[in-house]
Amino acid sequence: MFGFKKKQDAELLKEAIVNALREIYDPEIPVNIYDLGLIYDISIDDESHVTIQMTLTTPGCPVAQTFPGTVEQAVNKVEGVCDCTVELVWEPPWSQERMTEAARLELGMFY
CATH topology of domain 2-107: GMP Synthetase; Chain A, domain 3 (3.30.300)
Q: What is the pLDDT of residues 25-74, one digit of tens each?
A: 988 888 999 999 999 999 999 999 999 999 998 888 888 889 999 999 99
Model's pTM, two decimal places? 0.89
| Contacts for 14 with CB less than 8 Å, ≥ 6 apart | 42, 44
- Give residue 57's Cα distance to chain centre: 13
The strands making up 39-44's β-sheet, listed across from edge to edge, are 39-44, 49-54, 83-88
Question: What residue spans define the domains of the chain?
Answer: 2-107
The pLDDT-based confidence of 8 (bands split at 50, 70, 90) is confident
